[in-house]
Amino acid sequence: MVTDSAQTVEQGASQARLAQDFVRFAVDSGVLRFGEFKTKAGRMSPYFFNAGLFDDGAKLGRLAQFYAQALLASGVEFDMVFGPAYKGIPLAATVAVELARLGKNVPFAYNRKEAKDHGEGGTLVGAPLQGKVLIIDDVMSAGTAARESIALIRAAGATPHAIAISLDRQEKATENGQDVDHSAVQYVRRELGMQVCAIAKLADLLQYLSAGGGDTQMREHHERVLAYRQRYGVND
């Protein structure tokens, strides 16, 4: 008989493996890169994650698998998925397909940036927003896109319940140009009361880099990313 504690340990190990596999996939796909990159907050980051480079069918399909597996393992409850324009649209569609393949068939919807004044009109496309809605996006920097999606969902009479992202940068958000002590993910969890499911976190990236062993380049990347985390990181 498997005890609850043993099952929890196994689930944690499975999620850790999934996170490592995802980081490796992102690096191999050229989506996760190392160097010097300026963030929206004006910081010089030693790494850059550009989900827009999951740019062919195979990569997008594999990405959807990671999302679906992470969501099902997390236990997050939801009745439908919503993709905020623009990056969230293909994510919501492909993740809905993958969830259905794994036995959880749910409706999906997305929004337009500009309202359509002909045909069905409006800014929302797809299934009617209802029940507990899961927002699917790539990353969360300032939480602005999340707040916009939350407002749309509430205006439609549904409940914004959770958000799924690919990578949690685990770094301080900025407000009025100043660093604050919480990340955008923490803000959504604590202030908005929503669950957040991330396929991987910055801590997982650091673990991946530290496993590089004697690879000099991997060691240098690890040192730079670790220094960045020590300066801008938040405690979970």
Helices (H), the chain: 4-28, 57-74, 88-101, 144-155, 184-190, 202-210, 216-232
Q: Is 222 a catalytic residue?
A: no
94: phi then psi, degrees, rounded to nearest 5: -70, -35
Among residues 38, 87, 113, 118, the one annotated as catalytic is: 118
| Three-state DSSP state, 233 | strand
Among residues 116, 172, 182, 221, the one annotated as catalytic is: 116
Residue 12, Cβ density class (10 Å: 0-12 exposed, 13-18 middle, ≥19 buried): exposed
Contact 175, 183 (CB under 8 A): no
Q: What's the rounded Cα separation, in Å, for the pair 44 and 130?
A: 41
Contact 73, 15 (CB under 8 A): yes
Q: Is 116 a catalytic residue?
A: yes
Tokens encoding 211: 């496993």
Which residues are part of the catalytic machinery? 116, 118
